[in-house]
Amino acid sequence: MAALWLNSRWEALDGLVNNVGTNIRKGFQEYSPEEYDFLMQTNLHSTVDMCRLFQGMLEKGAGAAVVNVGSVAGMVDVGSGAPYAMTKAAEIQLTRSLACEWAPLGIRMNAVSPWYIQTPLTEPVLSQPERLEKILSRTPQQRIGKPEEVAAAVAFLLMDHASFITGQNLGVDGGFLAKGM
Query: What residues are annotated to the active site?
Result: 84
Spatial strand order of the sheet with 108-114 comes to 15-18, 65-69, 108-114, 169-172
What dihedral do alpha carbons 81, 84, 89, 92 form, nearest 10°? -150
The span from the CA of 20 to the CA of 44, in Å, is 9
Count of other CB atoms within 10 angstroms of residue 63:
14
Count of other CB atoms within 10 angstroms of residue 70:
29
The span from the CA of 29 to the CA of 118, in Å, is 28
Q: Measuring CA to CA, how many Å separate 122 from each of 49, 51, 62, 88?
A: 26, 26, 36, 16
The span from the CA of 144 to the CA of 167, in Å, is 26
Residue 123, helix vs strand vs coil: helix
CA angle 125, 129, 133 (to 5 degrees): 90
